[in-house]
Every structure is written in C-alpha cells, then in structure tokens.
Amino acid sequence: MEYNLSFPTVNENVCCQGVIRTTDADFFVEEMMDVSLTGEGEHVWLFVEKRGENTDFIARRLAKHAGVREMDIGYSGLKDRHAITQQWFSVYLGSRPEPEWCLLEDDSLQILSHHRHSHKLRRGQHHANRFALRICQLEGDIASLEQALEAVKHRGFPNYFGEQRFGRGGANVNKAAAMFERRIKATKSKRGFYLSAARSFLFNRVLAERINQNSWLKAPSDGPLYGELPRDLVDKTFENDDPNGHVGCSQLERVIFEQYPALTKGLYANRLKMEGRPLSVVPQNMSWKVLGDVLEVGFLLPTGSFATSLLNEVVNYRVFERSYPSEKE
C-alpha cells in the first residue's frame, strides 16, 4: 500500500520559494530546559553544541568516551543532523570520576557546560525549542510572504509531524506496516521509530482532513495519536460499541483509520495508548527579516512541534542536497 505524504497547507497561495540547510548554520536549534541541577549525584548532565551530526551518533561518542553503556546515556529529544543544535545529554557515572570532557571537542562537538545531577535525563523533558533559520535563494512575492508570516505569528499553523519523522520517501511508514505484518524484524530502537512514524502518519491524515473541512481551529482542538483508549475511559465513551475497535474516535477519525487497517491493527496490537496532540501551534517570540534573497526567521515552539511545518505555510522550500558518510546516518 502507498502512504500519501502530501498534506494540504492552510495557505494555498504560497508565493515564495527558497532553499533550506545550504549550510549547517542555516538551521539552528536550542533546547529550552527548566531544571535545577543539584551539582551532585551519579549522573553528569552536559549541554553540548553539535554540528552536522545526529543525536544518536553523539550519544555513542559520549558513551565511548566515558566508558559506559549506550543505555547509560540520556537525552530529551532527537535533533536534526543537518543543523547546529544545542541540547542536553546525561551520562550515568555512578561513583566514578568524570572524564575530561574537553578531549571530546572538535569541529562537530563543543561541550558548553556540565553539571552533576541525581537523575537521568528523560525523553521529552525539555519544554520548548528555539529556532533561528535562514532560507536562501529566496524568490517570489515578498509582500505576500510578509502577510503569510503575520498570519502564522498570530493564528498559528497546522501542527503536522515533519517529513523527518517518516524517513526518506516515507520509508519508516512502509517499514512499520511490514513490521506489523511480520515481513521484517526490527531492533528495539528501529521499532520505536516505526511505531512513531505510523502514529504520526495517522495524525497527519486526520489533521489534513480537518484542514480540508476548514475545522482545524475548531473544537476538538486535539487530534489522536492512535492507540487503545485507557480502560477507565472505555465505559464512559458513547462510542464504545464501535465494531472496528476505534473506541473514542470521532466519525471523521474513524473514516480515516479504516483506510489504514495495517497501521491501526499493528498499533493496537502493540498496546499503545490513545493520546492527544494539538492540531495547531502558535509560535512564540516570532520575528523575521528579509535581507536580499535571504529570509531569516526565529521563533519558539513547544516540544514535539516541527519548524518545517511552520515553513510550509510561508515558503515553498527545497532542501539543499548533500552527501555524508553512510555510517553516520
């Protein structure tokens, strides 16, 4: 089955085009974390700046340098590879002395600070990400671009999962379906990617239909991350007699879910719980300027929202093509 990864935008008349990620510096991300580090404990929290590397690769470097298992490394979120990103990692050392972190530093990794703490860093623990982006080779109607940016600043944008979630050509969704149907086996880490891709795809399809119906800003304001409804809520929903198992779903959502039985049955079989995700996001502290053929835009987004989903509402962008050694993918 083919999974259509083309999702409608609210702004149907995007009048500018450009290129993103021409250099790593064009895509800057900073994790925003509210945590009081104790200064003592069995874990070391490091705030690092990475350039041109993915999060898992840096985690492996930290584990090797500290002489610990990869499972002893914690991080809050996966960050873009083709970017400069500042993010937190934790390293479980127990009572062992800290290694010399500065020996890790090179062109791709800088240790900005490090502190002892009593707990491991957990996924999703940061509350927001700050973005500073450059869109180069900008062409088109700048006045319309300004209007689109103003609309996003005040109204918000559809909270789609970005294309990064689905892998190149949607490979992660196809692999999710193959895994559910036992046509392929997956490692624990890959399994997590595929489950997430399947849920994200279904959410995007629901949001796409809400946009087509012009109801994406109306109640209910959350869309579904597919799974089974918590047991204590099953008996409270008036839709608990749904023969297809889509308990607690709206009619719109049922229609969409029934188009993708391989994904819904697979997610249900993996005992994922039904969760909600906002259909729209209003960026905070958003500002921009156009300098010649470059758009510079900055904003703050809550954890889990994608900067590229915002960009889709204001510019038709393409990603600068680069090649990297395959072993770091």
Enzyme catalytic residues: 80
> What is the longest distance spanned by two Cα atoms in the chain?
61
Q: Alpha-carbon distance 38 to 116, whole Å?
A: 7
User: Are residues 283 and 230 in contact, defined by beta-carbon separation less than 8 angstroms?
Assistant: no
> What's the chain's Rg over C-alpha atoms?
21
| Residues in the chain, total | 329
Task: State the Cα angle at 81 between 85 and 296, rounded to 5°.
Answer: 55
Rounded Cα distance, 317 and 160, in Å: 16
- Cα(175)–Cα(184) distance, integer angstroms: 8
> What separation in angstroms does the CA of 249 have from each of 153, 159, 253?
31, 19, 6
Instruction: Take residue 253 and report the two structure tokens written for it.
Output: 């959502």
Q: How far apart are CA 74 and CA 80, in angstroms?
A: 17
Phi/psi of residue 297, nearest 5 degrees: -140, 135
| Distance separating alpha carbons of residues 270 and 180, to the nearest angstrom | 9
Residues 122-134: b if buried by 16+ CB within 10 A, e if exposed: eeebbebbbbbbb
d(CA 287, CA 298): 5
- CA atoms within 13 A of residue 22's CA, in its CB half-sphere: 11
- Give the Å distances, CA to CA, from 204 to 8, 80, 208, 266, 273: 10, 20, 6, 18, 18
DSSP state at residue 136: E
